[in-house]
């Protein structure tokens, strides 16, 4: 059977309509309403469900699960994308020139991840119009991905029939991510002693000085090919004439090996305890002291290369004459959470570039390629 034909103008118009809808994290309801209306107009046979995740996420809508009946009996598969965008992402003015979508430079474009939603919807229409046989398909559209994968974490998986699927949420359209790191977030609070910086500074203990000492000693950046860490936030002090009493430091560690994750986490935190001990005037002194919290951000993702889902998408790529690559990434996404919930998930590239910046762009050609690959994957999956 020939490759599916994509209506590029319709795809472009759909994408433009989506990016013009304001949908910062926790404000995805208008996108959800647009999608509901789209299915009413184009695929009324689809079953649209919404979970109760907003009670946990604080969003103005729940996650959407949309069930599209198959034309043949086959195992179900899902496609995943998130409905929220990062800031600045309000009043997006898309510009389409020479086959490339950009914003006007004052906002992000929102291709992360609205390009994925447009790709899914156009693929469904093309399948229907060209009477391509496929099995049941589910769309899993989440909220609050950009602020900690909150929608996926709160997702009610009892509403999902599929056991495997694809998250459309990375850059290179020839890349398929099967490995992503686990991550933790840590916060360190350094408690010193306040004093007047001009009258009696010797009576104070500078929390900023202790933090600087610790940060200088702590591992940061790329530790090895599987592990990174970063101290990203520092808050402290009240005035230039007061020895700073409290400093709060926030950071993260990511690794593809959980033992390395724990090792680097402990190394960083120990630097703060050692720094506080260094500035104690006496071993019995209470100040300065350190308190820490560590939270799991998202779990490890590692889908074997011989998993049927990996085999299916690589087969689809070969049929299209494309050299897809199974790769490792340093980022986290809904796929980490979905895998941890028992839903085998790979991440497919859709062509978005320079995401989370006002220079973000995406080529219509790459979006079209993604549509064709999704359609071919559905055909392959229906035979497995």
Which candidate, 280, 202, 198, 305, places its Cα nearest to that of 241? 198
Which candidate, 19, 201, 218, 202, places its Cα nearest to that of 101? 19
Catalytic residue among 51, 112, 138, 145: 145
Catalytic residue among 28, 51, 84, 138: 84
Residue 266's contacts (CB-CB under 8 Å, 6 or more residues apart) are none
Contact (CB, 8 A) for 333 and 296: no
Contact (CB, 8 A) for 43 and 107: no
Catalytic-residue membership of 28: no
Two tokens, residue 187: 């916060």
Two tokens, residue 319: 């049929």
Query: What are the residues facing 295 on neighbouring strands?
Result: 185
Cα separation of 335 and 141, whole Å?
A: 12
Catalytic-residue membership of 297: no
Two tokens, residue 3: 């490759």
- The residues assigned a catalytic role are 84, 145
């Amino acid at each position: 059977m020939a490759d599916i034909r994509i209506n590029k103008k319709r795809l472009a118009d759909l994408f433009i309509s989506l990016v013009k809808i304001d949908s910062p994290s926790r404000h995805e309801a208008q996108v959800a309403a647009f999608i509901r209306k789209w299915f009413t107009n184009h695929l009324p046979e689809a079953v649209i469900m919404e979970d109760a995740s907003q009670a946990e996420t604080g969003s103005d809508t729940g996650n959407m699960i949309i069930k599209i009946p198959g034309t043949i009996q086959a195992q179900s598969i899902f496609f995943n994308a998130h409905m929220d965008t990062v800031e600045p992402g309000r009043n997006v003015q898309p510009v389409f020139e020479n086959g490339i979508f950009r914003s006007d430079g004052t906002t992000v474009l929102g291709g992360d991840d609205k390009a994925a939603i447009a790709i899914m919807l156009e693929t469904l229409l093309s399948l229907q119009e060209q009477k391509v046989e496929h099995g049941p398909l589910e769309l899993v559209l989440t909220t609050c991905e950009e602020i900690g994968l909150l929608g996926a974490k709160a997702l009610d998986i009892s509403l999902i029939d599929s056991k495997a699927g694809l998250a459309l949420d990375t850059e290179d359209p020839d890349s398929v991510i099967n490995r992503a790191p686990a991550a933790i977030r840590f916060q360190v609070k350094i408690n010193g002693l306040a004093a007047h910086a001009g009258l009696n500074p010797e009576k104070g203990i500078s929390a900023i000085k202790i933090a600087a000492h610790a940060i200088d000693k702590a591992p940061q950046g790329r530790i090895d090919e599987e592990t990174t860490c970063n101290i990203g936030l520092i808050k402290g002090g009240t005035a230039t004439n007061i020895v700073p009493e409290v400093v709060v430091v926030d950071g993260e560690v990511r690794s593809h090996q959980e033992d390395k994750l724990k090792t680097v986490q402990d190394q960083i935190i120990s630097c703060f305890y050692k720094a506080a001990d260094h500035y104690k005037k006496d071993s019995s002194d209470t100040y300065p002291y350190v308190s820490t919290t560590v939270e799991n951000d998202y779990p490890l993702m590692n889908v074997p290369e011989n998993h049927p889902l990996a085999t299916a998408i690589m087969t689809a790529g070969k049929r299209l004459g494309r050299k897809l690559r199974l790769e490792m990434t340093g980022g986290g996404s809904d796929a980490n959470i979905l895998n941890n919930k028992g839903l085998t998930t790979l991440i497919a590239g859709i062509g978005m570039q320079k995401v989370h910046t006002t220079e973000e762009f995406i080529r219509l050609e790459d979006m079209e390629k993604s549509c064709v690959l999704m359609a071919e994957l559905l055909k392959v999956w229906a035979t497995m």
